[in-house]
Structure formats: structure tokens, C-alpha cells
Amino acid sequence: MKPNEIREMSLEDLRAKVEELTTERFNLRFRSATESIENPMRFRAIRRDIARLQTILREKENHG
């Protein structure tokens, strides 16, 4: 996700997306323990997307 796309989202959408990515990360980690993952770089992408979302979410919450 690009920061410009994220900034256009509402607070509720941001929170929902963070929750969705967190769940996806959990499921991916769980599957990686039992089988090989076809795209291991997805871990990094998810982690960075969550960080971007949380940063912009904090910006919006602090600045109204």
C-alpha cells in the first residue's frame, strides 16, 4: 500500500485494515510452521503495511 492511498482512508477503514493484516500475518506464521510458504517476502510486506497504517492512524488521531 502506498502512503497516499492510506491517508485517503477513514479512521474506521484504517483500523479494519490493520486488524485484517494482523490476522493475515498470524495465519501466515501459523502455516509457515507446518508447511513451506510460496512467498516468504509476504511477511515483510505485511509487517511494513501494518507499520505504515499505524503511523498514519496515529497522525490522524493526534491531528484530528
Any idea what the CATH number is for the domain that residue 56 is in? 1.10.287
Name the pLDDT band for 64 (thresholds 50, 70, 90). Answer: low
What per-residue string of b and e applies to 27-55 under the rule 16 or more CB within 10 Å gives b?
Answer: eeeeeeeeeeeeeeeeeeebeebbebbee
**Domain range for residue 57?**
3-63
Domain count, the chain: 1
Average pLDDT over residues 7-35: 95
What integer pLDDT is reported at residue 11 of this predicted model?
93
Q: What is the pLDDT of residue 20?
A: 97
Average the pLDDT over 50-54 and give the result. Answer: 96
Using CA atoms, how far residue 27 sits from 7, 52, 56, in Å, is 27, 20, 25
pTM of the model: 0.88
- What the block records as the C-alpha cell of 26 is 498470524
